[in-house]
Amino acid sequence: MKNGKILIIDDNEDVLFALNLLLEPYVEQIKVTTQPERIEHFMSTFVPDVILLDMNFRRDAISGQEGFFWLEKIKAADPDAVVLFITAYADTEKAVRAIKAGATDFIPKPWEKEKLLATLSAALKLRESRTEINTLKQRVEALGSPDDTGFEIIGESDVMQELFDQEDDYYNVVFADHALDIDNGRLYATVSKENVEESSQIFTDMMGPMVVMLVVISALIFMIVMYLMMKVMIDRSAFSISLMKVFGYRRREIRRLYLDGNFYVILLGAVICVPLAKWSMDLVYPYCIANVAIGMDLKFTPQIYIMIYGGILLCYMVINFLLVGRLNKLVPAEVLKNRE
Give the torsion through C-alpha atoms of 66, 67, 71, 72, to 10 deg.
-30
Distances (CA, A) of 313 to 39, 225, 285, 308: 82, 15, 28, 9
Q: Which of 48, 44, 36 is nearest to 7 (CA)?
A: 48
pLDDT digits (tens, 9 = 90+) for 226-276: 888 888 888 888 888 788 877 788 878 887 877 777 788 888 888 898 889
Ramachandran area for residue 148 (φ above 0: left; ψ -120 to 50: alpha; else beta)? left
pLDDT of amino acid 206: 77
CB 228 within 8 A of CB 319: no
**Range of lowest pLDDT (10-14, 27-31, 80-84, 332-336):** 332-336
pLDDT of amino acid 330: 76
- Cα 41 → chain centroid: 42
- State the CB neighbour count (10 A cutoff) for residue 324: 16
CB 8 within 8 A of CB 49: no
- CB neighbour class for 308 (10 Å; exposed up to 12, middle 13-18, buried from 19): middle
Confidence band of 33 (pLDDT split at 50, 70, 90): very high
**C-alpha R_g of the chain:** 40
Q: Rounded CA gap, 38 and 246, in Å?
A: 116
Task: State the sign of the Cα–Cα–Cα–Cα dihedral 280, 282, 283, 288.
Answer: positive
**Mean pLDDT estimate for the chain:** 78
Task: Name, in order, each residue with C-beta under 8 angstroms of 155's C-beta and a sequence gap of 6 or more.
Answer: 171, 173, 174, 175
Confidence band of 219 (pLDDT split at 50, 70, 90): confident
CATH annotation of 5-142: 3.40.50.2300
> Phi, psi at residue 32, to the nearest 5°?
-130, 150
pLDDT digits (tens, 9 = 90+) for 117-175: 999 999 998 898 888 877 766 665 655 544 444 444 445 556 556 655 666 666 566 66
pLDDT digits (tens, 9 = 90+) for 286-333: 777 665 555 556 677 888 888 888 888 888 888 888 888 888 777 777
pLDDT digits (tens, 9 = 90+) for 48-75: 999 999 887 765 456 678 888 888 899 8
Domain boundaries, the chain: 5-142, 144-190, 202-339
